[in-house]
Amino acid sequence: MNVNQLLAELERRHPGEGEYLQAVREVLLSVETVYNRHPEFEKLRIAERIVEPDRIFTFKVPWVDDRGNVQVNIGYRVQFNNALGPYKGGLRFHSSVNLSILKFLGFEQIFKNALTTLPMGGAKGGSDFNPRGKSDAEVMRFCQAFMTELWRYIGPETDVPAGDIGVGGREIGYLYGMYRKLARENTGVLTGKGMTFGGSLVRPEATGFGAVYFVRQMLAHAGDTLEGKRIAISGFGNVAWGVALKATELGARVVTISGPDGYVYDPEGLDAEKIDCMLELRASNNDIVSPYAERFPGTEFHAGARPWEVPVDIAMPCATQNELDGEDADRLIANGVRCVAEVSNMGCTPEAIDRLIGRRMLYAPGKAVNAGGVATSGLEMSQNAMKMNWGREEVDRRLHEIMSSIHHACLEFGTESDGYINYMKGANIAGFMKVARSMAEQGIV
């Protein structure tokens, strides 16, 4: 494989799809050397086949708002690769959603899902609909209209969507209700369901918990612990909440949260009451974090800024792609950061990653760090298939095991000759090689 040639060809075919090309470039550059030791992959053109989605569905989603006006959004499902199992991956509802973003997310999902050890392919979908500021009734009508189109393409053994930005328990409930009605079946066709209709314990917390388990292992491998560490996180959604809960429980101090309006610096660190306040902010539907600073004295709100300027030991971006850039990385390094772990998908720009790896920092990519979310979705699918539920401890134990196995895979494939653990390379090679082998064994399909 010649990476530059392949990328040039992709750029010609998909001009302007910046996020997608960025994600492909990172993976192909990481795997190039190992891949080229396998002439059978080259012969089967595995790289050329893996970078194109199997298929993409695009559909119109018309719905009626509370004032009786007709609204039109666009819905998508990108079924990227199902060599390992049914297509699996979340739905994102956000005004920024476009095909490039969903293709990058779907592509990342293939390798992330491969790392979980569970039999899941990669997919992603969503809409440019933004649930923020919408009433419950509007969200329900939108979800029902979206599912009226989507239901034909998905199924418990075909493609299993879940949540992502803008899609939480409420949206999954409405989507599931409509699917059940149209398909006349009660199955595990979606994950992240409510506990009364097939949801799994620990799924709501799983992305954040898994990320903290992973960071704990990174530190342990470097002879350190989470105890007393100051952590900067971004975002204030479901993922940030899970990280704050677990990190605090394990003795670390989470000193920032952020929203589109800016970030809050809380030198004392979050506690149970403040973590509950994050949930209230989210439920308030305003997309701002400044009320946190008004409520808790001794905290500061920094309008329009990102939390990476605060001196911390650990940075965990939990909001969205490319939210930590080269300058942020320089500032974190200058302030003595020890570890940067992406919890959002592709949270760091390529420049930030270059700086972090160049300086031999502890850095790990989203597809390893945040895989606990989709892994627990896989555990929800297993429980649904068995038509029974595991207890909280059982699910958490399996989540622990999966995160350990991902960490182990990163060590196995990412340890460099000077002993540095290149988690990006490790995660990309481990995930890619598993999918490549599986495609090679299954013929040209």
Interface with ligand GLU by CB under 6 A: which residues?
88-90, 112, 162, 164, 191, 345, 373-374, 377
Question: Is the dihedral angle over the CA atoms 372, 373, 377, 383 positive or is it negative?
Answer: positive
Give the number of C-alpha atoms closer than 13 A to the C-alpha of residue 345, restricted to the C-beta side. Answer: 27
Provide the β-strand partners of residue 91: 125
The H or E element spanning position 203 is: helix 203-221
Least distance CB 177 / ligand GLU (angstroms): 19
- Alpha-carbon gap, residue 124 to 128, rounded angstroms: 14
- In terms of CB distance, is 110 or 247 closer to ligand GLU? 110
Q: Say which of 103, 112, 124, 229 is annotated catalytic.
A: 124
In 3D space, the residue among 321, 316, 377 whose CA is nearest the CA of residue 113 turns out to be: 377
Least distance CB 395 / ligand GLU (angstroms): 14
Least distance CB 176 / ligand GLU (angstroms): 14
SS3 call for 143:
helix
Question: Between β-strands 262-265 and 362-364, what pairing exists: parallel, antiparallel or unpaired?
Answer: unpaired
- In terms of CB distance, is 203 or 253 closer to ligand GLU? 203
Contact 221, 421 (CB under 8 A): yes
Provide the β-strand partners of residue 245: none
In 3D space, the residue among 138, 92, 162 whose CA is nearest the CA of residue 321 turns out to be: 92
- In terms of CB distance, is 140 or 379 closer to ligand GLU? 379
- In terms of CB distance, is 89 or 414 closer to ligand GLU? 89
- In terms of CB distance, is 53 or 89 closer to ligand GLU? 89
Active site residue 124: yes
Least distance CB 90 / ligand GLU (angstroms): 3
What is the amino acid identity at position 390? W
Least distance CB 372 / ligand GLU (angstroms): 9
| Structure tokens given for 433 | 């090689």
CA dist 267 → 248, 281, 317, 336 (Å): 14, 20, 18, 17
> In terms of residues, how long is the chain?
445
In 3D space, the residue among 381, 374, 382, 424 whose CA is nearest the CA of residue 399 turns out to be: 374
Least distance CB 125 / ligand GLU (angstroms): 10
SS3 call for 185:
coil
Question: Residue 162: left (phi > 0), alpha (psi -120 to 50), or beta?
Answer: beta
- In terms of CB distance, is 337 or 424 closer to ligand GLU? 424
Catalytic residues: 124
